[in-house]
Amino acid sequence: MIRFIPFDLGLRRTALADKYLSSVNIKGQNIHIKSDIQIKRRTALILGDNINIGGKNNIDASAGLLIGDNCTIDKSIQISTKTETGYAPIVIGAGHHITSDVKPGTILDATIPVEGLSNYSGQLVFILSTGRSGSKAIAKLIDQHVDAECYHDTFAHLNTWSCEYLYNASSREEIRNKLKSLYNSTSLGKKKVFGQSDQKIAPLIPALSELFPTAKFIWLIRDPYDFINSAYARGWFDNSEFGLPLTEKEFLLKKVTPSKFDADHRCNGAKVGAFTVEKWKSMTAFERVCWYWSYWNSLIETHIEALPKKMAIKVQLEELEHQKNNILEFAGLSPIAGKAEKVNTAYYKKPDKNQWTEEMNAIFDKYCKPMMEKWGY
């Protein structure tokens, strides 16, 4: 998260409370938390204004938990977004008094009026990418503007809902209603521009454009060689992410093991109908990464082509610094000084395309080469 919204615990502001809230990326004012509670994955927790959370509560926010404005959670309450087989995000809309355990997947609409994004008079901007493409840099660029706030990978709910929609487990209407609850349960949009960057937004573009007809979309794309080297070394699409046995077929060893939550929401080529289950199982992580770059960017392109032209732009990461002011103008912001610098740079050593074998180059040519010229590479 790039900026923390100020909060006020009044007399209850203690070191323990700070421990709970310091890693909560979006939080409002007047939050009261008892000292004897357990919160798992606080980075996936979103808190509105005027919230009271009682003691002896056990909260698992792994898949995304939003507690809206003016909510009270009684003591000894169990709230979990983790099921026996997966994840189910929770939204507790504004005005609720929770007196019993909250089951995974619970969506409670607000019972009181809230200045959510449906009532926002400013400009909404959604940043789309494959991930490992510099989207955090654009989010930071927008967020540092005095008239804007922009968040990166903050709404964990999108991970699960994106997969549900991709795999036809939920209809567009169902996803749209979930998104409406998410964005209208607490006061969001305090400035002229509200931005959100998240690779999981891509499949949700149709639902978001219906919910917010004036929202704008920025498609950020990265040179496939650089993206693939970064994602492959990071362990993306490794067999372990899909519950498959490890294979000796991989060309290079991964440098990082992604979190289980991220791994469990990696796009499955068999589930989206791009491959048979047998073919998907037989592929290397390298081949899956090459396919993903082409598939995900094509998905973005298809969705934004259905929008009015003035509502979307495409930006190459390599041109980010030169396009800085164009991006700000597109978002409705004035130019600012400074550079659009890359952030979230890999801390591990990435391979170079000169290290690729003939087989790796043949795989790359199959999936990526046909789209490179079309997208300006």
Average pLDDT, stretch 362-370? 98
Task: Note whether residue 341 is domain-resident.
Answer: yes
Strand partners, 98: 73
The token duo for 222 is 């990265």
Q: Which of 108, 133, 157 is the last residue of a domain?
A: 108
> Comparing C-alpha atoms, which of 362, 317, 332, 303 is closest to residue 131?
317
Residues 323 and 220 in one domain: yes
In angstroms, the CA 311 to CA 288 distance is: 31
Beta strand residue intervals within 229-338, DSSP E:
312-316
Q: Note the pLDDT tens digit of each residue in 310-351.
A: 999 999 999 999 999 999 999 999 999 877 766 666 667 788
Q: Is 6 exposed, middle or buried (0-12, 13-18, 19+ CB in 10 A)?
A: exposed
Q: Which of 57, 86, 108 is the last residue of a domain?
A: 108
User: What phi and psi, each to the nearest 5 degrees, are found at residue 165?
Assistant: -75, -45
Residues 103 and 121 in one domain: no
How many Cα atoms within 13 Å fall on the side-chain side of residue 359?
Answer: 8
- Enumerate residues 6+ apart whose C-beta is below 8 A from 224: 290, 293, 294, 364, 368, 372, 377
Residue 365 has pLDDT above 90, yes or no: yes
Residues 95 and 139 in one domain: no
Average pLDDT, stretch 53-72? 96
Residues 178 and 212 in one domain: yes
pLDDT confidence bin for 19, thresholds 50/70/90 = low
Q: Are 182 and 157 in contact (CB under 8 A)?
A: yes
Residue 339's pLDDT is 72
Residues 59 and 207 in one domain: no
The token duo for 350 is 């990435």
CA dihedral 56, 57, 62, 63 (to 10 degrees): 180
Task: Note whether residue 354 is domain-resident.
Answer: yes
Number of domains observed in the structure of the chain: 2
Residues 179 and 287 in one domain: yes
Residues 159 and 285 in one domain: yes
Residues 125 and 104 in one domain: no
Task: Note whether residue 101 is domain-resident.
Answer: yes
In angstroms, the CA 194 to CA 37 distance is: 32
CATH code of the domain covering residue 51 = 2.160.10.10
Residue 13 has pLDDT above 70, yes or no: no
Residue 10's pLDDT is 39
Q: Average pLDDT, whole number, for the chain?
A: 92
What length does the chain have? 377
Residue 6's pLDDT is 41
Residue 346's pLDDT is 62
How many other CB atoms are found less than 10 A from the CB of residue 259?
10
The token duo for 365 is 């040519």
How many other CB atoms are found less than 10 A from the CB of residue 312?
23
- Enumerate residues 6+ apart whose C-beta is below 8 A from 27: 4, 5, 7, 21, 46, 47
User: What phi and psi, each to the nearest 5 degrees, are found at residue 249?
Assistant: -80, -15
Residues 163 and 274 in one domain: yes
The token duo for 58 is 């056990």
Residues 99 and 157 in one domain: no
Residue 345's pLDDT is 64
Name the 3-class secondary structure at 314.
strand
Rg of the chain over CA atoms, in angstroms? Answer: 21
Residue 111 has pLDDT above 80, yes or no: yes
Q: Are 328 and 315 in contact (CB under 8 A)?
A: no
CATH code of the domain covering residue 161 = 3.40.50.300
pLDDT confidence bin for 35, thresholds 50/70/90 = confident
In angstroms, the CA 317 to CA 228 distance is: 14
Task: Note whether residue 50 is domain-resident.
Answer: yes
Q: Which of 64, 87, 108 is the last residue of a domain?
A: 108
In angstroms, the CA 151 to CA 136 distance is: 9
pLDDT confidence bin for 4, thresholds 50/70/90 = very low
Which range of residues forms the domain containing residue 180? Answer: 117-225+266-372
Of all residues in the chain, the percent with pLDDT exceeding 90 is 85
- Considering the entire predicted model, what is its pTM? 0.92
Residues 186 and 292 in one domain: yes
- Enumerate residues 6+ apart whose C-beta is below 8 A from 78: 57, 58, 101, 102
Residues 104 and 147 in one domain: no
Residue 233 has pLDDT above 90, yes or no: yes
The token duo for 147 is 């008239």
Task: Note whether residue 257 is domain-resident.
Answer: no
Residue 25's pLDDT is 87
Q: Note the pLDDT tens digit of each residue in 159-208.
A: 999 999 999 999 999 999 999 999 999 999 999 999 999 999 999 999 99
Residue 282 has pLDDT above 70, yes or no: yes
Task: Note whether residue 1 is domain-resident.
Answer: no
In angstroms, the CA 63 to CA 78 distance is: 15
Task: Note whether residue 15 is domain-resident.
Answer: yes
Q: Note the pLDDT tens digit of each residue in 76-93.
A: 999 999 999 999 999 999
Task: Note whether residue 254 is domain-resident.
Answer: no
The token duo for 288 is 């899956």
Q: Note the pLDDT tens digit of each residue in 89-106.
A: 999 999 999 999 999 999
Residue 5's pLDDT is 39
